[in-house]
Amino acid sequence: MEDFRFHDLRHTWASWLIQSGVPLSVLQEMGGWESIEMVRRYAHRRRTT
């Protein structure tokens, strides 16, 4: 895996939690982010069609 970075796991972890219904404020505390904006940057919600 050439393009893999361990930092990518932080994005994946946050995305899985937000898609599981974890509130942004809880995810913020768990991830140690200082602002909700940073949580939103890391946690990508799956788009529904």
Could you tell me where the DSSP H helices lie in the chain?
6-19, 24-31, 36-42
Note the pTM of the prediction, 2 decimals.
0.72
pLDDT in tens, the chain (49 residues): 678 788 788 888 999 999 999 999 999 999 999 999 999 888 876 655 5
Distance (Å, rounded) from C-alpha 39 to C-alpha 43? 6
